[in-house]
């Protein structure tokens, strides 16, 4: 992803920006909604963050943070600014910032390790054509359009295979008790 930001910074590459937008804008909006923003505000702030990426891509330093961390910080700060303006008062930063403890507790780390093992085993049951697409989308952070182009598949096929893969994973993980059945 950092290479896409560099392309935006140096060449004002619209395709690179579109790929970044497709990947991050929905994630930023969902993150903001988890922080309590209504969907319209979350979408607006996510778009503001992406505009900031377009304008300030040259300021991004991959040695200091990942693209995701940088964009989430921009989105969070924009949300805080909007809250301040809307309420005409100061927002307590302790209320607006969710502290991140980088040192997981032993029981949390153990549970995460067990969960990761269950998810890996579930992924191994996927057909190879689905597993490849899931890895490209979620471990390499590629957009569906990028995957379609690199794999020589129609976009609809990519989306269908990923959707089928998630359906299979959900059923498998429900059976393992990792995901609640709907």
Domains of the chain plus CATH, in order, are 2-96 (1.10.1740.10), 106-175 (1.10.10.10)
Contact status, residue 173 vs residue 121, Cβ threshold 8 Å: no
Where do we find the tokens 């471990």? 139
Q: Which residues contact 31 (CB under 8 A, 6 or more apart)?
A: 72, 75
Helices 144-151/14-34 angle, 10° precision: 140
Q: Is 126 helix (H, G, I), strand (E, B) or coil?
A: coil
Q: What is the pLDDT of residue 73?
A: 87
Distance CA 124, CA 117 (A): 11
27 CB-near residues (< 8 Å, 6+ apart):
68
Rounded Cα–Cα distance for residues 13 and 125 (Å): 39
Question: pLDDT at position 114, please?
Answer: 76
Highest mean pLDDT among 8-12, 38-42, 68-72, 155-159: 155-159
| Structure confidence by residue, pLDDT tens digits, 169-178 | 888 877 766 5
Sign of the torsion formed by the C-alpha atoms of 122, 123, 126 and 127: negative
Q: At what angle do helices 2-11 and 67-87 cross, to 10 degrees?
A: 70
Tell me the pLDDT band of 118, cut-offs 50, 70 and 90.
confident
What does the radius of gyration of the chain's CA atoms come to, in whole angstroms?
Answer: 19
What is the C-alpha separation between 47 and 32, in angstroms, rounded?
Answer: 12
3-state SS, residue 62: coil
> Is the predicted pLDDT of residue 182 greater than 70, yes or no?
no
CA atoms within 13 A on the CB side of 144: 12
| Per-residue pLDDT, 178 | 58
The average pLDDT across 76-87 equals 78
Share of the chain above pLDDT 90, in %: 9
pLDDT digits (tens, 9 = 90+) for 82-95: 777 766 555 455 44
Q: Which residues contact 165 (CB under 8 A, 6 or more apart)?
A: 126, 130, 131, 133, 134
pLDDT higher than threshold 70 for residue 96: no
Scanning the structure block, which residue is given the tokens 């969960």?
A: 115
* pLDDT for the residue numbered 159: 92
What confidence score (pLDDT) does residue 148 get? 92
**pTM: predicted TM-score of the whole model, two decimal places:** 0.47
pLDDT over 80 at 117, yes or no: no
pLDDT in tens, 20-65: 888 888 888 888 888 888 888 888 888 888 898 888 888 888 888 8
């Amino acid at each position: 992803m950092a290479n896409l930001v560099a392309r935006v910074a140096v060449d004002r590459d619209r395709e690179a920006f579109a790929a970044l937008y497709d990947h991050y804008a929905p994630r930023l909006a969902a993150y903001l909604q988890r922080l309590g923003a209504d969907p319209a505000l979350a979408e607006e702030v996510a778009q503001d963050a992406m505009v900031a990426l377009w304008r300030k891509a040259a300021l991004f330093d991959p040695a200091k943070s990942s693209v995701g961390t940088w964009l989430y910080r921009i989105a969070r700060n924009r949300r805080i600014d909007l809250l301040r303006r809307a309420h005409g008062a100061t927002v307590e930063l302790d209320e607006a910032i969710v502290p991140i403890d980088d040192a997981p507790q032993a029981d949390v780390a153990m549970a995460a390790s067990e969960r990761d093992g269950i998810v890996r085993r579930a992924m191994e049951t996927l057909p190879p054509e689905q597993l490849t697409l899931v890895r490209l989308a979620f471990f390499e952070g590629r957009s569906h359009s990028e995957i379609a182009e690199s794999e020589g598949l129609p976009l609809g096929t990519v989306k269908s295979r990923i959707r089928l893969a998630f359906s299979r994973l959900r059923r498998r993980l429900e059976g393992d008790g990792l995901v609640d059945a709907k």
